[in-house]
Structure 1
Amino acid sequence: MAQTTESHRANRASLGHRIRYAARHPERVPPYLRRLVRDLRLRGQAGRDHIAYYRAVMKDDTSRNPEAAVGSATHDRWLALGQMQFDFLTANGLTPADRMLEIGCGNLRAGRLFIDHLGPGQYHGIDISPDILLAAQETVAEYGLREKLPYLTLVRDLRLAHLPDGYFTVVHAHSVFSHSPLEVIDECFAHVGRVLAPGGFFDFTYNRTDGTEHQVLREDFYYRTRTLLSLAESYGLRAHPMPAWDELPHKQSRIRVRHTE
């Protein structure tokens, strides 16, 4: 695993961190305040259901800019992050013969590259946001991917109930658990093993902390690596960090999960 840094020790929910961060990055204060106001508004509308809450967040963000809604400040960054995911995964096991499930496919930032790489009908993307899936359809058309017949499906949770047993050789979830409380991650681990083919793997990224686990505005969640490894292992899955991902220009860390053999 990459060496511990001050960033990985920071508790972003603490008042002290927020004050120091605002002093270093005053231009980011207005966006944070907009998120704070939205959080107060959505808490009352969506209640305690995190999926409903985050679906509302995505609706709000996608209405302004679908690429920003998936975490890309500019189109160039959207392209670069998609390429980074694709290059890493193809260098670490993804082949054109794979059957891939992308959890939280968004507007196909990386999915457009996966779809092009795989055979027709071999890419399945799911998301909780109908708004971002409409944007994903536009991406399919814009990049000439219609003949690849990608499946894009709206889901209400991560039970994966509509998907077949032992079918997917690769499952991928980029920047999903970074926005998920532990009960949502637990639900995914409880069911992903059922759809994962023998010999297949599940890669996911997450916000890593080496200090106190915490969340910010119910949108950004920070976990210790051991917490997620132990949770996966509690469902009979074998999990290990992928430190090579930490060396790339991305703020999240990565774990790979397989069936216990």
Structure 2
Amino acid sequence: MSEPLPPKRRNRASLAYQLRYAAKNPDKIRSYLGRVGRDLKFRLVSRDHVAYYRAVMRSDVAKDPEAAVGSRSHERWLALGRMQADYLIEHGLKPDDRLLEIGCGNLRAGWRFIDYLDAGNYYGLDISPDILLAAQNILVRQDLREKLPHLTLVNDLKLRFLPSEHFSVVHAHSVFSHSPIEVIDECLVHVGRVLVPGGFFDFTFDRTEGPEHHVLREDFYYRTETLISLAEKHGFSARFMDDWEQLPHGQSKIRVTRPA
């Protein structure tokens, strides 16, 4: 059953929105206050956004690795992974493509990509060592060790250790929805170097048609034109993926392509 996409003009950081939400969902007040306290603590001890969000993931993975990547149940974890993989395969991913997945998490979609791609053609990156340990468990559970996937811990999205013009497809699901604009800008700069000419980068984001904002430095909301303009500044062509909006996921998707 499809879930309705959230209204796109709401400013979830505003006090008015938070009060209305609390009045409608009193059972969630306690957990939200816990997040506020955690946010204050992690801001004090984190030197930058990557360190901050790594701490968030450590806290979430300790409770439930599948919930840590945004899945409220195992069934939902399976469904979201299947949705991502099916969509990318239907929109151009081939078995002989070399795929870089930024923010691979615990391989919610990644294990399906690994299974589909030729051996050695999957490369997953994440900033969280805790979620990458969970990803190793998924590789064992799905018996995919012979496909020789690469899983790598990173401190940023500069991709300095990866070869130029190596990947034909780059994929990032629910990464930019947790990233300030300077991290997105950094990523786009360096993805352009590792993509082959004609290669493409699909990423999701939390879309707003109102003011851009963030909630607790964990959830960031952007206007489509902001991210398309940023991609075009770095030499990509970019388009909004309208048909992705019809799927039950809650985020929007943009594809940027390096000119051939």
Settle same-fold status: TM greater than 0.5: yes
The aligned counterpart of 2:16 is 16
What is the rounded CA distance, in whole Å, between the counterparts of 1:25 and 1:113 in structure 2? 36
Shift of residue 25 of structure 1? 2.2
- Which one-letter code corresponds to 2:27 in the other structure? E
What is the rounded CA distance, in whole Å, between the counterparts of 2:18 and 2:258 in structure 1? 40
Confirm whether residue 40 of structure 1 aligns to residue 40 of structure 2.
yes
What is the rounded CA distance, in whole Å, between the counterparts of 1:148 and 1:99 in structure 2? 13
Shift of residue 43 of structure 1? 0.9
Confirm whether residue 260 of structure 1 aligns to residue 259 of structure 2.
yes
Aligned residues: CA RMSD = 1.1
CA-to-partner distance for each residue in 1:111-136, whole Å, 9 max, x for gaps?
01000000111000000000100000
Q: Residues 22-171 of structure 1: matches in 2 within 5 Å? A: 22-47=22-47, 49-171=48-170
What is the rounded CA distance, in whole Å, between the counterparts of 2:28 and 2:162 in structure 1? 40
Shift of residue 72 of structure 1? 0.5
- Which one-letter code corresponds to 1:23 in the other structure? A
The aligned counterpart of 1:193 is 192
Shift of residue 18 of structure 1? 0.7
- Which one-letter code corresponds to 2:155 in the other structure? R
What is the rounded CA distance, in whole Å, between the counterparts of 1:25 and 1:234 in structure 2? 42
- Which one-letter code corresponds to 1:57 in the other structure? V
CA-to-partner distance for each residue in 1:40-90, whole Å, 9 max, x for gaps?
11111104x000100000011011111011001111110010011011111
The aligned counterpart of 2:208 is 209
What is the rounded CA distance, in whole Å, between the counterparts of 1:79 and 1:29 in structure 2? 28
- Which one-letter code corresponds to 2:34 in the other structure? R
Where does the alignment leave 5 or more consecutive residues of structure 2 unmatched?
Answer: none
Confirm whether residue 249 of structure 1 aligns to residue 237 of structure 2.
no
Shift of residue 30 of structure 1? 2.2
CA-to-partner distance for each residue in 1:235-258, whole Å, 9 max, x for gaps?
111111001111111110000010
What is the rounded CA distance, in whole Å, between the counterparts of 1:95 and 1:27 in structure 2? 45
Shift of residue 6 of structure 1? 7.2
- Which one-letter code corresponds to 2:136 in the other structure? Q
SS of equivalent to 2:7? helix
What is the rounded CA distance, in whole Å, between the counterparts of 2:111 and 2:212 in structure 1? 33
SS of equivalent to 1:59? helix
What is the rounded CA distance, in whole Å, between the counterparts of 1:105 and 1:145 in structure 2? 15
Runs of 4+ off more than 3 Å = none
What is the rounded CA distance, in whole Å, between the counterparts of 2:34 and 2:227 in structure 1? 31
What is the rounded CA distance, in whole Å, between the counterparts of 1:243 and 1:71 in structure 2? 22
- Which one-letter code corresponds to 1:42 in the other structure? F
What is the rounded CA distance, in whole Å, between the counterparts of 2:30 and 2:200 in structure 1? 40
What is the rounded CA distance, in whole Å, between the counterparts of 1:51 and 1:152 in structure 2? 18
Shift of residue 26 of structure 1? 2.3
Q: Residues 218-257 of structure 1: matches in 2 within 5 Å? A: 218-257=217-256
Shift of residue 195 of structure 1? 0.4
What is the rounded CA distance, in whole Å, between the counterparts of 1:101 and 1:210 in structure 2? 30
TM-score (norm 1): 0.96
What is the rounded CA distance, in whole Å, between the counterparts of 1:98 and 1:164 in structure 2? 15
TM-score (norm 2): 0.96
Count of matched residue positions in the alignment of Structure 1 and Structure 2 = 256
SS of equivalent to 1:8? coil
What is the rounded CA distance, in whole Å, between the counterparts of 2:191 and 2:31 in structure 1? 35
Q: What is the identity percentage for the equivalent residue pairs of Structure 1 and Structure 2?
A: 63
SS of equivalent to 1:7? coil
